[in-house]
Amino acid sequence: MKRTLTVCPYCGTGCTFYLVSDNGRLVGVEPSTTHPVSRGGLCIKGWNAFAFVHHPDRLTTPLIRRDGLLQAASWDDALNLVVEKLKGLQKNYGTDAVMFASSAKATNEENYLLMKLARAVFSTNNIDHCARLCHSSTVTGLAETFGSGAMTNSISCFDQTDLILVIGSNTTEQHPLIGSRILNAVRSGTQLIVADNRRIRLARQADLHLRHKNGSDVALLHGIMHVIIAEDLAEEKFISSRTENYAALTESVAEWTPERAATITGLEATEIIAAARLFASAERAMIVYSMGITQHSHGVDNVRCIASLAMLTGNVGRPGTGVNPLRGQNNVQGGCDMGALPDLYSGYQKVSDPQLREKFASSWGLKSLPATPGLPLTRAMNAATEGQLKAMFIMGENPVISDPDQRHAVATLQNLELLVVQDIFLTETAALADIVLPAACYAEKDGTFTSTERRIQRLQKAVEPPGEARADWEIICRIAERAGYPGMRYSTTSEIMEEIATLTPIYGGINHERLDPHGLQWPCPDIDHPGTPLLHVDGFTRGLGRFSPVDHRLSAEQTDEAYPFVLTTGRTYFHWHTGSMTRRTHLLNREEPHSFIELHPDDAATLGVRNRDELLVSSRRGRLKTQARVTEMVIPGVVFMPFHFAEGAANTLTNNVLDPESSIPEFKVCAVQVEKLP
Amino acid sequence: MKILTPNKVDSFFQLLTQKWDVRLPIVLTDGTRVISSLGDGSIALHGGAVSSKPTAAFFPQHSSVFISVNGLIQEQTTPGLPIFVLGFTDRDLECLRFIDRFFANGLRDDIYFTLRSNAVVAGISGYCGVNGALLQPSSGNCDLEFFWDGCRWLIIPYSGAGNEIVADLPDSAPPEAIEAFKKASTALPDENEKILRQASELLRADRVPDSFWSEIGDRCISCTGCNLACPTCTCFGVQDWRSSKTIERSRMWDSCQLDGFMREASGHNPLGTEALRTRRRIHHKLAADPEKWGDISCFLCGRCDKACPTGIGILAVAKELVARFA
């Protein structure tokens, strides 16, 4: 028997556990009892995180499409072909004809290396990852207002706060060990406001549950801020000493009386007033948000309003306060930190800055690096549709299931001249690829993940990968070598982290040895630095916090006679994203074995629908069959679907409209029709 | 009664590995204490009950049922060395007694007894609890027992196998050590046990309203940790993994806190809410098992209370229930 301490591969909470192995096979999981976040507990995905690893569907050999079929190939042939094709397409169409999609499931070291591969070896800034689909609005919005697009506080702050506002986060299902802290805090007297029209578990414990209409967050937050200012509840001292542009905020919310906000949000004005008074009266208040805020065509505006509310009430820079975007994936924070973004190197250093370009070029042994920011992932898909992009190298992502408007996503991928997918299973996306590279999963490699509270923690190899599968970092290095680049030779992942630390000020003091046993929180600028649990304590990262007023905009697609329901999408507790791991985990898939749609009992009665009836759901983009779940979880007129399921895929219906600044798709609002199948 | 001095502990267990698959309390890299193999961490006999359930030695989270290749069931490979497992507190031994009886009842569980039959189980007791607190000696329901008297381990063999294992150790326990063991063996009053019995009586008298279970259920995040950490939980799920030539059937710990655990083929679920499932979990341990087996099947090991992220382990619920309805 062997026990290996590692980090959970699912959400961004950053729980650690021991993988239990026997003769090279995983046989279970044991929680860490000393970890400051998980404290001896885990959620059901964590308890079952060993169970997909040895699944017979794992990819064990490279595959090359020959005669229309994916056929087993040698690593030599597969990697030579990858390099030859990518270089060939770049020669014919320019260096920016290729796109690299990195992965929030992969380690920091691997994200850094794919970023380096794109920029140093293939001379393009076309590198991005799935943060584009989840928290790109946060990165943009908080960078502008605070100077840093990350969770300002730590998870331990939930034990030290007087009030928690949860807006657009189903925390007990999506970050269960954070959600459970909120439940415990409420039992200890912390007040809770839930702003979310789904009746999520936290809502059952809330002092105030605001069921505002989808897409009306700006109106709600404007209404709340209006009341706080009008009733003289703002924290004037904080505003005058720590922030700028306050006058513009007061002007922009002046007309947002609670009555006006009520007409947009569908709430009573009294509810908005009550929320404002409750929030402003708390000595220490935390704001928690997630995809319900970010995944809108005005996601960045939503984030700006949240930042304003926190500054307006002085809730930044102290324990038990802060703006706390909960990052979805295990390493989506790290993916961003490592510069798997089209405009930033690791540590949020801009590619447009000549000095920074020179720094990276010099370290990587190059004369120059490309200066123009690359394409965000979502815009790259559109560019491929239009024929400007010819190739995609996708590591550990499954856009066929995760991207908006599935028909568009599939057509786009099929339109490419080259699609390379590096993954652990033959996902729906890998099945379309020209070349498939088999990767090791989290249990089969070393490296680091960075959790939502900026905690960098070590992932440690417990078992060998199956067949010829290799760790992503090893594959990337072999591609670089074959492309003639000698600057990516590492014998261990700790060597890669050493390089990251030299180039990335916020990771300057990080090395693998220092991370035992429970990691360090960035910024950690030097080897003696203890890490930073709280951001913006004495001043904001950008100096003064900036109030950024916004205008209210409606969601891109409104309901009408043909499509009378608002569809909002998300995840369930038991599955992870496109289900490639959890749908191969017996207990998890047993809990949620198929696609479903939540429908309010009033709507069900009108449609003559009963629980578990088969329904046809259609939007302007497509249609699907799914099963009815009649529940008061949703409000009348709104339906909810999880996007995990390839059969009954919610993203068949969603709208590929993007926030103009963050390029995040509007997953949370589109118009659909629901019909009962005979 | 045998003696094992602290400086001989490592070599004693090292020697045992020649004949036994030795499992014992160790401390892992981040300070978590579990029962595992020598070499997986430093031996850590002090510190009280380990966080993981010791019964997992015989009923692991995941185990193979059979493998079929080209339609033929393969013989299970012979197990390696028999298991020696140290680290059962007196409460853990009660749990083991309970599941031994459960797995032997009716259709005897071959997979469990493949590991259990030839195993040697060692209890641990004495002043080796958290911060030197006393762990009560067992009632002798193990092969041998390690009792820490404050200076050395006194080892009391109860079975032939236990005797064989400690045969080479000196047996010159001083009188004061024997006296310490006898004194420690006197049952201590346990307030928690009283609460559990009161809770059991309230449940059996049907004095707990549904609204209580709704409140508790609202705090359940379905992590299943209460079941997975519990040494007397015996439920498992079964899965088949199929590839072109093989079928691998295995089983894994399951949880009555899950919706799918009781879901009917139609999709209907007689235990379709967290409230009903939580009620069932507690009711099963405190009301149904006493009727079926004569025992409350919670022996207050405390693991579910530690594993539950929202504070609804069995003792926490029992306390709340007694405070409100007794």
- Whether residue B178 has pLDDT greater than 70: yes
Give the tokens for residue A522: 């960035």
β-bridge partners, A21: A2, A26
- Which of A638, A652, A665 has the alpha carbon at shortest distance from A556? A665
Place of tokens 């007689």: B270
End-to-end CA separation in angstroms for chain A:
55
Alpha carbon A366 to chain centroid, angstroms? 32
* Tens digits of residue pLDDT in A33-67: 999 999 999 999 999 999 999 999 999 999 999 99
Name the pLDDT band for B72 (thresholds 50, 70, 90). very high
Given a contact cutoff of 8 angstroms between Cβ atoms, the answer to whether A227 and A276 are in contact is: yes
- Say yes or no for a CB contact (<8 Å) between B307 and A41: yes
* Tens digits of residue pLDDT in A174-219: 999 999 999 999 999 999 999 999 999 999 999 999 999 999 999 9
B219 chain-A contacts, CB cut-off 8 A? 183, 187, 205
Which residues are CB-neighbours of A213 under 8 A, at least 6 positions away? A197, A264, A265, A266, A566
A443 chain-B contacts, CB cut-off 8 A? none
Q: How many CB atoms lie within 10 A of CB A280?
A: 24
**ipTM reported for the complex, 2 dp:** 0.96
B211 chain-A contacts, CB cut-off 8 A? none
Which residue in the set A1, A5, A172 is minimally distant from B221, CB to CB?
A172
A410/A612 Cα distance (integer angstroms): 29
* Tens digits of residue pLDDT in A348-407: 999 999 999 999 999 999 999 999 999 999 999 999 999 999 999 999 999 999 999 999
- Whether residue B182 has pLDDT greater than 90: no
> Which residue of A10, A11, A22, A47 to mutate against B (max B Cβ within 10 Å)?
A47
Exposure string for B32-59, b = 16+ CB within 10 A, e = fewer: bbbbbbbebbebbbbbbbbbbbbbbbbb
Q: How many CB pairs under 8 A join A and B?
A: 137
Rg (CA), chain B: 21
Domain boundary assignment for chain B: 2-59+68-185, 191-325
Name the pLDDT band for B187 (thresholds 50, 70, 90). low
End-to-end CA separation in angstroms for chain B:
45
Closest residue in chain A to residue B64, using alpha carbons only: A27
Q: Indicate the length of chain B as a whole number.
A: 326
The whole-number average pLDDT for the span A487-513 is 98
Find the helix or strand (DSSP H, E) in which A391 lies: strand A391-395
3-state SS record for chain B? CEEECHHHHHHHHHHHCCCCEEEEEEECCCCCEEEEECCCCEECCCCCCCCCCHHHHCCCCEEEEEEEECCEECCCCCCCCCEEEEEECHHHHHHHHHHHHHHHCCCCCHHHHHHHCCCEEEEEEECCCHHHCCECCCCCCCCEEEEECCCCEEEEECCHHHHHHCCCCCCCCCHHHHHHHHHHHCCCCCHHHHHHHHHHHHHHCCCCCHHHHHHHHHCCCCCCHHHHHCCCCCCEEEEEEECCCEEEEEEEECCCCCHHHCCCCCCCCCCCCHHHHHHHHHHHHHHHHHHHHCCCCCCCCCHHHHHCCCCCCHHHHHHHHHHHHC
Orientation of helix B274-283 relative to helix B210-218, angle to 10°: 110
- Say yes or no for a CB contact (<8 Å) between A587 and B37: no
Closest residue in chain B to residue A50, using alpha carbons only: B62
- Say yes or no for a CB contact (<8 Å) between A44 and B223: yes
Query: From residue A372, how far is each of A96, A342, A662 by CA, in Å?
Result: 10, 9, 17
B51 chain-A contacts, CB cut-off 8 A? 30-31, 33, 40
Query: From residue A119, how far is each of A122, A157, A337, A340 by CA, in Å?
Result: 6, 38, 16, 10
- Say yes or no for a CB contact (<8 Å) between B225 and A55: no
Q: Chain B: nearest CA to A612, how far in angstroms?
A: 8
Q: How many CB atoms lie within 10 A of CB B69?
A: 11
- Which of A267, A292, A271 has the alpha carbon at shortest distance from A214? A292
B116/B112 Cα distance (integer angstroms): 6
Give the tokens for residue B1: 């009664």
Q: Chain B: nearest CA to A464, how far in angstroms?
A: 18
Burial group, residue B131, by CB count within 10 angstroms (0-12, 13-18, 19+): exposed
A31 chain-B contacts, CB cut-off 8 A? 32, 51, 225, 307
Strands (E) in A32-101, as ranges, are: 63-66, 69-72, 98-101
Give the tokens for residue A78: 């597969």
Give the tokens for residue A12: 């961004």
> Which residue of A57, A159, A180 to mutate against B (max B Cβ within 10 Å)?
A180
Q: Chain B: nearest CA to A48, how far in angstroms?
A: 9
pLDDT, position B181 = 79
> Which residue of A575, A587, A631 to mutate against B (max B Cβ within 10 Å)?
A587
- Say yes or no for a CB contact (<8 Å) between B224 and A50: no
3-state SS record for B28-41? CCCCCEEEEECCCC
Query: From residue B203, how far is each of B195, B231, B305 by CA, in Å?
Result: 12, 22, 20
pLDDT, position B176 = 80
* Tens digits of residue pLDDT in B138-160: 999 999 999 999 999 999 999 99
Burial group, residue A561, by CB count within 10 angstroms (0-12, 13-18, 19+): exposed
pLDDT, position B177 = 78
A587 chain-B contacts, CB cut-off 8 A? 237, 252, 254-255, 258, 260
Given a contact cutoff of 8 angstroms between Cβ atoms, the answer to whether B20 and B102 are in contact is: no
- Say yes or no for a CB contact (<8 Å) between A2 and B40: yes
Query: From residue A105, how far is each of A335, A482, A517 by CA, in Å?
Result: 8, 25, 21
Do the strands A670-676 and A638-642 form a parallel or antiparallel pair, or are they unpaired? unpaired
- Whether residue B78 has pLDDT greater than 70: no
Exposure string for A50-71, b = 16+ CB within 10 A, e = fewer: bbbbbbeebbebbbbeeeeebe
Q: Chain B: nearest CA to A626, how far in angstroms?
A: 14
- Whether residue B85 has pLDDT greater than 70: yes
The whole-number average pLDDT for the span B294-315 is 96
Q: Which domains does chain A have, with CATH numbers?
A: 2-47 (2.20.25.90), 63-129+330-521 (3.40.50.740), 152-325 (3.40.228.10), 565-676 (2.40.40.20)
B307 chain-A contacts, CB cut-off 8 A? 31, 40-42
A593/A646 Cα distance (integer angstroms): 11
A303 phi/psi in degrees, rounded to 5: -65, -40
Q: Chain B: nearest CA to A615, how far in angstroms?
A: 16
* Tens digits of residue pLDDT in B160-172: 999 999 999 998 7
B30 chain-A contacts, CB cut-off 8 A? 5, 16, 32, 34-35, 516-518
* Tens digits of residue pLDDT in A249-263: 999 999 999 999 999
B143/A285 Cα distance (integer angstroms): 56
- Whether residue B188 has pLDDT greater than 80: no
Give the tokens for residue A371: 């200066």
- Whether residue B267 has pLDDT greater than 90: no
Which residue in the set A27, A40, A518 is minimally distant from B307, CB to CB?
A40
Q: Chain A: nearest CA to B58, how far in angstroms?
A: 13
Given a contact cutoff of 8 angstroms between Cβ atoms, the answer to whether A265 and A223 are in contact is: yes
Rg (CA), chain A: 24
Name the pLDDT band for B185 (thresholds 50, 70, 90). confident
Q: Half-sphere exposure (CA, 13 Å, Cβ side) for B109?
A: 20
* Tens digits of residue pLDDT in A73-113: 999 999 999 999 999 999 999 999 999 999 999 999 999 99
* Tens digits of residue pLDDT in B100-142: 999 999 889 999 999 999 999 999 999 999 999 999 999 999 9
